[in-house]
Chain A
Amino acid sequence: MSNAVIKCASYILVHAPDMVIHNGSTQTTEKLLNPNSEYLKNIRSSLRSYEEAINYLPNQVYIGNKTPEDLKLTPQPWVDKPVLNSSRYGKFGEIMPEDEFIGLMKIVDVFDLVKLSKEFTSSIKEKLLNHDLINNELVSRLKDGEDLGDVEKLINEQDAEPLYFDNNLVGCVKRAHDIDPNLSAHVIFENLVSKASGVLAALHLIKRANIDPNEIEYVIECSEEACGDMNQRGGGNFAKAIAEFAGLINATGSDVRGFCAAPTHAIISAASLVKAKTFKNVLVVSGGSTAKLGMNGKDHVKKGLPILEDVIGGFAVLVSENDGISPIIRNDLVGRHTVGTGSSPQAVITSLVTAPLDRGNLKITDIDKYSVEMQNPDITKPAGAGDVPNANYKMIAALGVKRGELDRTQINEFIDKHGMEGWAPTQGHIPSGVPYVGFAIDDIMSGNVNKVMIVGKGSLFLGRMTNLFDGVSVVIEKNDGKKEENKGISEEQIRNFVAEAMRDFAAHLLEE
């Protein structure tokens, strides 16, 4: 049975400063507990402009205009080293401005829950008509908009979630039920953000992969949101909702959850579905979350920095049957943190990294690049969480020393060679393992890299159903060019088998 391949990946960001203020959980919590705090009073002056977000080096790496190598060559911090005149579009995707994204939320809303003002609708209609991936049929879903007075009425009288752009009220998201908390305006808002950003990532992937959308048979969505009603809170299914707007008419799908580890779980599942010949092309996709916007904002502001968590993330990965060219997903070399693994760093890294390597008779140094928790240290260091990718690489290197595969003095050299700086926004599942997949395809195809390990970790304990956390990993490697051999039996072979059996039978009779 031939392994599946990773054919293509796309990455998108949405600059969302107004959502930082109104929808980030750090800010909404502060509004409840300290409504008159200095942080809230001055927050707007700590937000970056769209141009500043575009010119931010880690964001440019995320959409593929810059590389992890560029990041390594630029000393940290990167926030004070803008890449001037950067482009909104990159080879992997784009950084969408907030107004167009609010329009996209309206476009993907099929229950008429997003209400936008007439003036705002007309301004974004023009912009979205110029967007390559958003066709006229999609733009027509914006309709003409509402009177702002009606929008205000919905907010004041029916708990609608307000939508702001540039500090002005431009619309709202209505609740989808009068009393169901799972269909409240807040939940519908978060789910539409996740859906819209997932759709944008899927549209970029289809364009990049140059694939006929009809050929995608299954979609696995792996965000951290839940959609459903009061009778089935996490019923789903974002996957099919995204597939509908990405034009994947031959696809169905399902949602995979596992906190930040979900994307790696999803890639492993997709690879298995393709290897088992259940489906030929599986799309793994996820949008981002607004709750995590400005999560560490207070620490950033305290240190005189702008609020760096001002973007929503999204990505998509296409997993397909072996084409003899694209990198192979070695789903026989999968690591997993099991219930019995335990939580010591040694046990965690053994189960995630060295156990699968041992299965393939590989050493820690045989993996050219490890894609771990790729959180941007510009965001995490000022918040006291340190350099997360670096902490993960240190643990992998330490186990390498323990196994005698590298010397203690080679730890920094190992991290330099096999590790990378983090560039992904702290959107939970967005930085976990997957940010390097797009570069991995390019690096493997160009021969710079042979083997890559994607490692995803998830904080299950946050859901209060278990104290455990989770992790899975998978190896991706260069395609040896051999497609699956035809294992069928030819007519000639059958004749030979029958002839052989007849000869044996005749010989048996003669003996008697």
Chain B
Amino acid sequence: MSIFDENSKVIIIGDRDGIPGPAIEECIKTTPAEIVFSATECFV
């Protein structure tokens, strides 16, 4: 069973030197969850 269902709201904070936001978005799009916010941050 997926950890996300149609009631899931997802906030994505990606890391430029790790996994950027759009890459995480692509993964979430394979689930019924709704992405409510997605951003990539630079932590340095």
Contact = CB atoms under 8 A, between A and B. Distances in A.
A260 B17 CA distance: 12
Nearest to A373: B17
Interface string B11-27: 00011111111110010
A457 B18 CA distance: 12
Interface in A363-387: 373, 375, 380, 383-386
A375 B44 contact: yes
B36 interface: no
Nearest to B21: A343
Given A373-B44, A384-B43, A385-B43, A392 B17 contact: yes
Nearest to A372: B17
Interface string B22-44: 11001000000000000110111
A467 B23 contact: no
A289 to B, nearest CB: 13
A391 B17 contact: yes
Contacts of A383: 43
Contacts of B22: 342-343, 467
B21 to A, nearest CB: 7
Nearest to B20: A343
A506 interface: no
B42 to A, nearest CB: 4
Size category, A interface: 20 to 34
Contacts of A385: 15, 43-44
B44 A344 contact: no
Contact of B40 (A344, A375, A469): A469
Nearest to B24: A343
A113 to B, nearest CB: 31
A431 B44 contact: yes
Contacts of A459: 16, 40, 42
A90 B39 CA distance: 41
Contacts of B21: 343
B43 A380 contact: yes
A345 interface: yes
Nearest to B42: A459
A213 to B, nearest CB: 34
A343 B40 contact: yes
A469 B40 CA distance: 9
A197 interface: no
Most buried by A among B14, B16, B22, B23: B16
B23 to A, nearest CB: 4
Contacts of A384: 43
Which of B14, B39, B40 lies at the interface centre, i.e. has the most chain A CB atoms within 10 A of its CB?
A: B40
B3 to A, nearest CB: 21
Contacts of A461: 39-40, 42
A380 B44 contact: yes
Interface string A343-360: 111001000000000000
Given A344-B23, A344-B26, A345-B23, A426 B17 contact: no
Interface centre among A260, A388, A426, by most chain B C-beta atoms within 10 angstroms, is A388
Given A375-B44, A380-B44, A385-B43, 4 more contacts: A260-B42, A385-B44, A426-B44, A469-B40
22 contacts: A260-B44, A343-B20, A343-B21, A343-B40, A344-B26, A345-B19, A375-B44, A380-B43, A384-B43, A385-B43, A388-B43, A388-B44, A391-B18, A392-B17, A426-B44, A428-B44, A431-B44, A459-B42, A461-B39, A462-B42, A467-B22, A469-B40
Q: Which 7 A-B residue pairings sit nearest by Cβ, starting from the closest?
A: A459-B42, A385-B43, A343-B20, A343-B22, A344-B23, A375-B44, A343-B23
